[in-house]
Structure 1
Amino acid sequence: MLALAFLAPPPVIAAAARTPELAVTTRLADRRMLVTGDRFWSMGTADGRYPAAGFHTRGEMGGFFAPPIKVLDGLWFGVDGQWLPAANRMRSGWGYVRTEFPTNDGLRITRTDVDPDGERAGLVGLTLSSSQTRTLTLSVDAHSELMGMYPWGETKPSQTTVNLPDTASVSGNALLFRDVGTPPGPNQLKHDWAASVGSSLTPVSSQVGNDFRGPQDPPVRCPASGPGTADLPARCDDTAYGNGAGGRLDYRITLAAWKPLTVWFAVAGSDTGPAAAQSTLSRVLRDPDAEFEAKLTARKAVDARTVVDLPGDPLLAQSVEWTKQNLADAVQETHNLQLRPTNGGTVYPAPVGTLDSARWIAAGFPDYSWLFGTDGEYTAFAAVAAGQFENIEAHLRSLRDVSDKVNSRSGKIVHEVTPDGQVYFGANADAGNTDESAKFPSAVALVWRWSGDRHFLDDMYDASVRAMKYVTSLDADGDGWPEGLGNVERPGMGAEKLDNTVYTIRGLADLVDLATAKGDNATARWAAAKVANLMHRFENAWWNGGDTQSYADSLADPGNTKVFQRHWIGLTPAEATLPDGTPIASTDHAVATLTQHEKPCYSGDLGLFHTGTGPTSDPAGNKGASCDIAVSSVAADREAFTLTTSIMAVAEGNYGRSAARYTTDIARVQLDPTLWEMPGAMPEIAPSPDFGANIDKKLTERSMVLQAWGSYGILWPVVHQQLGVDPDAGNGWIRVVPQIPAGQQRISGHNIRVGTGAVSVTAVESGQTITVTASGPLKMTIGAVLPTGASVKSATLNGKPVQPEVVRTTRGLEATVPGSGNLTLVLAY
C-alpha cells in the first residue's frame, strides 16, 4: 500500500471520553502505548505503530501478548488501499487507550484499544465518521510472533534457537497463526501456540505470507542482542529473533453521513492449540461493546475506593487517582506454570513442579511483567491503601506457592518468576536474595492488618514463620545480621547488607503480631527476643557517623567493618517501621540522614539517586556534589528510580517531615506533560543525570513505561501518613490520626477500605483549631498530629469535652481519644 497524503479536513467531533483521560499530541512516535488486561496486554507507540521494543529479547517485548506467550508483532489498518497515517493524538483512559488519526476528505478515524479482564484477547475498535455517505474498503494487517516470554535473547537457551517458525492461514472469517513443535535442546516441551485475528464482519478478501506489517514493510531488522551489537538502528520494525508470519483481511463497509460507526477487531492467543484461540476470539467479538463497558465498570469501581481531596496539593490528589489505575493495570495471571529454576538464565532443567495458576501484580511493562518478591512486597503498601486486597493477596499466595515447590518449603522466597514458571533467581541453590524472605512476613502482616482476612492469615502463617527461620539461619558469623544479596546488586559490598538487616528486624516484629494472632506463643517469644536483641545493637553496629551523617550500606567480614557507598538503602532504617509505627532508626540519626539526603549529593530535580555523589576511588571519579569527605569504592549512580524516591518520601513522613518534594517528583513523571512518556503511567526511572529520559532513548534500551513500585511513594504517604489511617482490622480496631501538611488547611479521604467496611476521614485546620471527622466500622482511636511547638488547650468529641492522651512520636505530638461510629474531634491548641 502507498502512504496517504491527507488534506485539511472539516472538523469532526471525536468520540466522547468514557473516563477521565490524559491526552498527548507531541512526539507520538517516541512514546510507548500500553494496554493491559489481567490475561492479555499489548504495547506499541502512540502514533499507532509497532516498532521493535524491549531488551530482554531485544525488540520482541512489544506487540501483543497472551502470557506466557507473545502472539503478534503488531496490527495495522488501512482505508481504500492506503495505510492510516501516524496518529496525531493519543488519550490514556482508565483501562483503555484512544488514538486519533488526521482527518482526510471528511473521514475521521479514532482507534480504541481495550483488553477485557479474564480473557486472553485484546479488542481494537475503529470508529469511523464521515461528512458524506460512502462505501470504503477497510483493511487490517497482522504479523505474528508466537514465542515464549522466556527464554530471552541471551539466556541459555536463547530465543535464537528455540523460536520456531510460525505459519499463517485463513480459518473462517479470521486469520490463524500457529507455532507447533518441540524446540531443540534438553528439557524442551512440545507446544501448540496459536493466535487468531478477526472481526465480527465477514471479510471480502484475505491474504497470508511472510510480511504484512502495514506501513512498516519492508521491515528494518534489529540484530540479536549480544557482543558487537552496540550500534543499533535508531528504530527497528523486527529483529533477528523474529520467525513470524503475516496476513491481511479486507472488509467493505458503508458509512452514513455524520453517523459514526465502530468496527471491532480482536486478537486472541492460546498456548493450548488453535481451538482455544478461536473460541476466545468468537466470545469477545460476540458483544465487544459489553466487554468495553465491563472494563469501564471495573475501573470505576477501582476509582471509587480511596477517594482523596487534597486542596493544597491537587497534583498529588490526581496522582492518587491515576496510581490506583496503574495498580489495576499491572495485574497479571497465567495458568499451568512449569516451574524450573534457571539460575540466572544459565541452565534449563526439567520442571521441578507445576502450578495450576498464578496471579500477581506485575513489576513493570514491558520487560518485567512477571512475578517478583521485592517489587510486590513494596507494592503491597500501595495495594492495601488503594483497597486492592484481593490482588495483593493473590500475589503473596503465588510467591508462596512457587517458593514452596521450587525450594522444597525451605522458607526461601523466590526473587523473579516469568509467566511460564521459570524461576530466574531465588532458588535454594542460588546465592539468593535475602530481602524477599525477610519482607514476606511483613507483607502478610500488612495485608492482615488492613483486610482482617482470617482465612488469609491462616493460609499464609506457616510460610511466614518458615521465611523468618530461613533468614535468621543466614548468619555464618553469629552476629544476628543476615548475609546475602539485598536490593542493591552492586559490587564492593560486604556480606551483610543494611536493608536485609532492617527488613529482618521488621519481619521478626511483624511475625510477633502474626504469631500472637494465631496463638503461637512460642514463635512470638522467639521472634520478640530477636527483635529486642537486634534493636539494642542496631545503631552502634550500623551508624557510619562522621560527616557522612548516614548508615553504612553493608558490613564486611571479618570484624563487621562498615562499608559506606551512598546507596539508597541507607534510608531503609528511616523508612521501615515496627508494628506500633515506630521507625527502626533512632530519631536523631534519622533526622540527620534525611537532612543529608535532601542535599544535591543525593537528590536531584526529580527524586533520590540510586547512589549519591562524593569522593570515590572509582576511576570514573566524582560526578557531582560532595556532602562528606568519606571515600567510596564505587562510582555514583544518579538514576532516580521511582522506588528510591518513594523510600525517601515515606521516610520523611515517618518523622513528620514534609515529603512534598518527593511525592511531587513521583507525581510529575506520571502527570506532567513536559516529563511523561505515556500520560498517567508511573515509570520505573525518572529523567535523571545518569539515565536521561526514556523518550529520548531507543525503544530497545528503555526502562519500564509502567512500574508498580512507584505507587508506594504516592498512596502510602497520603493514606497512611497524611490521613493517618492505621488499621488493625484483624483485632477489630483502627487508629485515624491525620497530619495536615504544613501550609495546608484541609485534607480528606473517603471509602478507604478497611476490613469488610470503609473509613472516611477529614481533617481541617483553622486558626488554632484542628477538627477531625472520621467514621468507620471498627473501634477507633481518633486524633491528630499537632503543629510543631503546639500543645492542647481543650478538646471535644462529638461536642462533649474530653481529655485526650498526648504522646510524642516520631511524627510529632499526637493527641488522641477512643471512640466508635461517626466521630468529630475538635482540638484547640
Structure 2
Amino acid sequence: MKSLVKRENLSEKKGSNKSGVTGSLYVTAGEKCKAIGWQDGLFRDFGHHLEDEMGGIWVHPIKIADAFWLSIDGQFYKADEYETLPYGNIFRYNLPCGVNIKRFQFSPDEVKGLAIKYIFENATKEKKRLELKFITRFDLLPVWFSKENGILDFEDSACFDEANQVIVAKDQGHDWYGLMGCNFNIDAGCVTITKEHIGHCETVGKGVCASITKTIELAPHGEQTITFYLVGSYIDKNDALEDFHRLKKDEKALLENKIRRYQAIKSRTDLKTDEEDFDQVFEWIKYNTDWLVADCGKYGRGLTAGIPEYPWWFGCDNSYSIQGLLALGEFELAKQTIMLLKNYSEKINGNGRIVHEITTNGMIPNPGNSQETGHFITAVYNYWRWTGDVDLVKDVYDYCVKGIDWLLNEMDEDRDLLPSGYGIIEIEGMNVELIDTAVYTCQALFCIYEMSKALGKENKYYLETAHKLKKIINTRLWDEKEGLFVDAVGTPRQIIERIDILLKRSKESHNITITEEYKAYLDNLKEQLSTLPADEELPFIINKNWVINIPMETRIADTDKALIALKTMRSEDFVGKYGVYLSGFMHKHIMTISTGVQAVAEGRYKCVNHSLELLKRMCSTFSMVLPGSISEMSPDYGCFTQAWTVYAMMVPVVECFAGICPAAHNNKLTIEPCVPDAWSKMSLTNIRVGSARIDFTFSRQKDREIYSVTSTGTLDIDFIPAGSYREIKVNGLAHEGHIRFGAGTTVIELVK
C-alpha cells in the first residue's frame, strides 16, 4: 500500500491551536485508541479544548498518557524521517554511533491499545551496546466537557504487576487504567515509577512517570527488535489486562487484520483518472476518514469530526460526512453514526431537535443548532436511497417527524416557514432566520414526504410545504442586484444589534479582524436600516458567508438563479488560492467544507469543470501538515484531518462527475455522467448501491465517449447522456430512446 514520507523540518511549525496552527503532528489511529504526537517522534503539550492536553494517547472517553519516549544512553533523539502509512506510522533515526532505528507503531481496531516496535540496526563493523529506557508519562483524565458535568480528574498512581509483566497506572478517583509492557521479560529492578518528570519534557496534569530499562547488544551489522505496548481502559483493570495480553499475544495477526481492512477500503469506490495525483488524494481521504472512527463501547461508535481538536461526534459535520461515507460504500458506519445522533438527540432533547455535538462520554455541550435538524433528516434519506434499508427509516421516522414539527412551530414563531436560530456559522448573535436553515428545512420536507409514502403514511402537507418554502427561497431570499442568495432574514432592529456585536467582537479579539472595506459596508448597512421600520422582517446580506451556496448544493435554487449565483461566486471575492473563502467580505479563512459545498453546487448544475478546478485547489494543500492528509483550514491549520473533507471530495466525483444517483429503496439506479473536460478517462470501481456492486468506466476519444457499466444484483439502471449526440450505440448496436439495462456489462458509445 502507498505511504507518504516527510524527511526535513519535521517539527518546523511549533505553534499550537492557541495560534491557529496545530504544527507538524501525526495520528496513529485505531477505532479504540489514538496516539497524537509530533512527526519528529516526540510529544509536547498542546491543545485548546483541554488546554495543553489534546495530544498523547487516548482511549476515548479517557486519555491514558501524555507521551512516551525512548532514551538511548541517556539521550533523547528526534526522528530524521517520518512516514505515514494508512494503518500506522514509521519514524527513522540515524544515531551518531552508527546505529539506525526504525520505529513502527499501530493501533489495532480490536483492542484499546498501541504497539510500538523498535528495530535496531548496527550499520558498523563494531559491536554496539545500548542502554535503553522506555518512559511513559501516564495522565489519566476524562474528555473535554467532563468537569462541567462533575467528572473530575484525580491524581494518578502506578505500580508494577510482576505476575502480569505490566506496569499499571490508575486514576485515584475512577476505575481508569493505563498499562505499559513489552515483548521481553521485565525484572522489577529495571522498573522506575515516579511522580517526577523523567522524559524528554515536562507535561501538565496529575500524571505519573514509569520506565522500563533494558540493555541490548548488537553484533556488527546485526539487528534486534523490541516492542512496547500501551493499553488503557475506562471500564476496569481486568478489561485493561485482557486487551494487553491479547495485543501482546496476537500483535502480528492484529496487524494483518488491519492491513487487510485497509486494502478493502482502498478497493471500494476506487478512482482512476488521467491525473494520478488527484487519484492519490481521493484514496488517502478514504484512509483519513477511517482514522476518525471512534468506538467508545457503551457510549457508541461513529465518525468523529476532526483530529486533534474535535475527536467527538457532531450533528452538522456528520450530516455532510455521511453523504461521503455512502458514496464510499461505508454503509455500516453511516448507519451507526445516524443512530448515535438520533439516540442521543432523543435522550437529551426528545422533541426532534438534533444535537450539535456529543463528547465520547455522552455529554452534550450544545443541544443543537436549527440547521442540523433538517440536515440530519436529509442524511437519513440519503442513507435510504443508497442502501435501501427501510428498517432504519422506520426506526428514526417518528423522531424526524418531531424534528419537522420543532422547526416549523417552536422555531418559526411568525409562521413564515423560515425557522430561526443559529445555523452552521456560529457567530454570536446570528440566530435569526438564516439561509442554511431555510434550505435544509426545505430539503428535509421533500425527503420526509418520500419516506412517509414508503412507510404507508403519506403526508402531502410535507410536499406542499416544501414547494411553498422553495418558492420563498427563490423569491424572498434572492437578491437580484447582487446575483446571490441572502444570508438572513430579520428585522432592522435585529440586524443592527448583530452588526454591533460583530464590530464589538472584532475590536476586542485579535483573531477577528474586519477589513476597512467590510466595516464600511456594515456601517452603510446600519445607516440604511436606521431609516426602515424597526420590526419589519426583510432579507439581508450581512457577511456573504459560504452557506449562500447551499441553495445550489441542494438543487433548491431555480436553474436560472443558480447559474447566476455560481458565476458570481467564482469571482476573486469568493475564491482564493486554496478554495472558497468562509466570507466573501473577508478574504482570510478557507475550509474544505466551504470549498466542497461550492464544488458540489457546481456539479449539481453540470458545471463540472469549475467543480474540478475547486477540488484541485483543495488538493493542493495535501500533505502540507501531515503527509497523506488535508487540513481542516486551508492550507495548513486547524485539525490536520477533518471528516467533512470526505463529503467535499466524494460527492462531486461520485454523484456529479460519474453521475451515480442511487434509488436502492426502489431497486433503481440512474447514471447521468458529466465527466470534466480535463479527463480523457475515468473509472470508479466497486461502488456499493444496495446489495449490488457497480463498476463505471469512461473514455473520451475525439468525437466520441465510451462508457462501460458493470452491475451485479437486480438493479434497474437508467443511463442518461449529458447533452445531445448524433449516434448512440449500446453493446455495439444502434439505439434510440431510453437507455435501460440491468445486471452484467453494458457498453454505451456516444458519438457527437
Question: Fold-level match, TM-score > 0.5?
Answer: yes
In 1, Cα distance between equivalents of 2:91 and 2:694: 38
Q: 1:293 to 1:820 in 2, by over 3 A?
A: closer
* 2:184 aligned partner: 201
In the alignment, is residue 330 of structure 1 matched against residue 264 of structure 2?
no
In the alignment, is residue 597 of structure 1 matched against residue 569 of structure 2?
yes
Deviation at 1:573, TM superposition (A): 0.3
**SS in structure 1 at match of 2:90:** strand
* 1:420 aligned partner: 361
In the alignment, is residue 445 of structure 1 matched against residue 381 of structure 2?
yes
* 1:638 aligned partner: 588
Deviation at 1:42, TM superposition (A): 0.9
2:183 counterpart letter in structure 1: S
* 1:802 aligned partner: 735
Contact 1:666 1:714 in 2 (8 A): no
**SS in structure 2 at match of 1:529:** helix
Contact 2:351 2:399 in 1 (8 A): no
In the alignment, is residue 411 of structure 1 matched against residue 352 of structure 2?
yes
In 2, Cα distance between equivalents of 1:785 and 1:493: 41
1:769-801 per-position Cα deviation (integer Å, ceiling 9, x unaligned)? 121110113111123323xxxx32121211222
Contact 2:91 2:103 in 1 (8 A): yes
In the alignment, is residue 272 of structure 1 matched against residue 195 of structure 2?
no
* 2:156 aligned partner: 166
In the alignment, is residue 39 of structure 1 matched against residue 32 of structure 2?
yes
562, 567, 574: which is aligned to 2:539? 562
Q: 1:559 to 1:283 in 2, by over 3 A?
A: same
In 2, Cα distance between equivalents of 1:743 and 1:97: 35
Q: CA RMSD in A?
A: 1.8
In the alignment, is residue 364 of structure 1 matched against residue 306 of structure 2?
yes
Please, which moves more after superposition, 43-52 or 658-667? 658-667
332, 337, 352: which is aligned to 1:390? 332
In 1, Cα distance between equivalents of 2:343 and 2:40: 41
In 2, Cα distance between equivalents of 1:439 and 1:494: 17
Instruction: Compute the TM-score of the two structures, normalised by the length of structure 2.
Output: 0.88
Deviation at 1:213, TM superposition (A): 4.5
Contact 1:493 1:563 in 2 (8 A): no
1:666 counterpart letter in structure 2: M
Deviation at 1:254, TM superposition (A): 4.3
1:106-160 per-position Cα deviation (integer Å, ceiling 9, x unaligned)? 32111112111031111111112223555543220010111001337xx74799x
In the alignment, is residue 433 of structure 1 matched against residue 369 of structure 2?
yes
1:375-432 per-position Cα deviation (integer Å, ceiling 9, x unaligned)? 001001110111111111100100011111112x311111111001110001xxxxx4
1:456 counterpart letter in structure 2: L
* 2:523 aligned partner: none
Q: 1:170 to 1:45 in 2, by over 3 A?
A: same
Within 5 Å, which residues of 2 pair with 1:660-671?
A: 660-671=612-623
707, 710, 732: which is aligned to 1:772? 707
Q: 1:257 to 1:401 in 2, by over 3 A?
A: farther
Deviation at 1:721, TM superposition (A): 0.9
Contact 1:68 1:334 in 2 (8 A): yes
2:561 counterpart letter in structure 1: H
In the alignment, is residue 144 of structure 1 matched against residue 138 of structure 2?
yes
1:206-261 per-position Cα deviation (integer Å, ceiling 9, x unaligned)? 11112344222xx2xxxxxxxxxxxxxxxxxx23xx11110110123444554543
Q: 1:81 to 1:263 in 2, by over 3 A?
A: same
In the alignment, is residue 23 of structure 1 matched against residue 16 of structure 2?
no
* 1:52 aligned partner: 45
Please, which moves more after superposition, 368-377 or 195-204? 195-204
Deviation at 1:606, TM superposition (A): 0.5
Contact 2:574 2:587 in 1 (8 A): no
Contact 1:804 1:817 in 2 (8 A): no
Deviation at 1:764, TM superposition (A): 1.6
1:719-752 per-position Cα deviation (integer Å, ceiling 9, x unaligned)? 1111111111121110122112023221111111
Within 5 Å, which residues of 2 pair with 1:163-312?
A: 163-172=153-162, 173-181=165-173, 191-204=174-187, 205-216=190-201, 219=202, 238-239=203-204, 242-258=205-221, 260-311=223-274
Contact 1:738 1:763 in 2 (8 A): no
Contact 1:212 1:248 in 2 (8 A): no
**SS in structure 2 at match of 1:784:** coil
Contact 2:176 2:236 in 1 (8 A): yes
448, 452, 455: which is aligned to 1:518? 455
Within 5 Å, which residues of 2 pair with 1:456-471?
A: 456-471=392-407
Percent identity of the aligned residues?
25
Deviation at 1:301, TM superposition (A): 0.9
In 2, Cα distance between equivalents of 1:435 and 1:795: 44
In 2, Cα distance between equivalents of 1:197 and 1:740: 53
Deviation at 1:333, TM superposition (A): 1.6
In the alignment, is residue 679 of structure 1 matched against residue 627 of structure 2?
yes
In 1, Cα distance between equivalents of 2:605 and 2:392: 31
Contact 1:22 1:92 in 2 (8 A): yes
1:262 counterpart letter in structure 2: T
Contact 1:494 1:556 in 2 (8 A): no
Residue ranges of structure 1 left out of the alignment (5+ in a row): 1-18, 182-190, 220-237, 336-355, 427-431, 577-582, 614-635, 688-692, 695-702, 806-815
1:563-596 per-position Cα deviation (integer Å, ceiling 9, x unaligned)? 21211111100111xxxxxx11112221222122
In 1, Cα distance between equivalents of 2:584 and 2:63: 39
Deviation at 1:819, TM superposition (A): 4.9
1:722 counterpart letter in structure 2: F
In 2, Cα distance between equivalents of 1:92 and 1:471: 44
In 1, Cα distance between equivalents of 2:423 and 2:478: 18
1:174-212 per-position Cα deviation (integer Å, ceiling 9, x unaligned)? 22111122xxxxxxxxx2211001112113401111234
Q: 1:193 to 1:819 in 2, by over 3 A?
A: closer
446, 449, 460: which is aligned to 1:509? 446
* 1:455 aligned partner: 391
In 1, Cα distance between equivalents of 2:370 and 2:722: 36
Deviation at 1:320, TM superposition (A): 1.2
In 1, Cα distance between equivalents of 2:440 and 2:476: 16
1:86-122 per-position Cα deviation (integer Å, ceiling 9, x unaligned)? 0011111112111111244332111112111031111
571, 582, 587: which is aligned to 1:610? 582
In 1, Cα distance between equivalents of 2:606 and 2:429: 34
* 2:518 aligned partner: none
Deviation at 1:168, TM superposition (A): 2.1
In 2, Cα distance between equivalents of 1:294 and 1:396: 26
In the alignment, is residue 828 of structure 1 matched against residue 712 of structure 2?
no
Deviation at 1:492, TM superposition (A): 5.5
Contact 1:498 1:552 in 2 (8 A): yes
1:432-458 per-position Cα deviation (integer Å, ceiling 9, x unaligned)? 411111111111111111112233233
1:685 counterpart letter in structure 2: M
Deviation at 1:327, TM superposition (A): 1.2
In 1, Cα distance between equivalents of 2:271 and 2:721: 18
**SS in structure 1 at match of 2:674:** coil
Residue ranges of structure 2 left out of the alignment (5+ in a row): 14-23, 492-534
1:593 counterpart letter in structure 2: A
Q: 1:519 to 1:255 in 2, by over 3 A?
A: farther
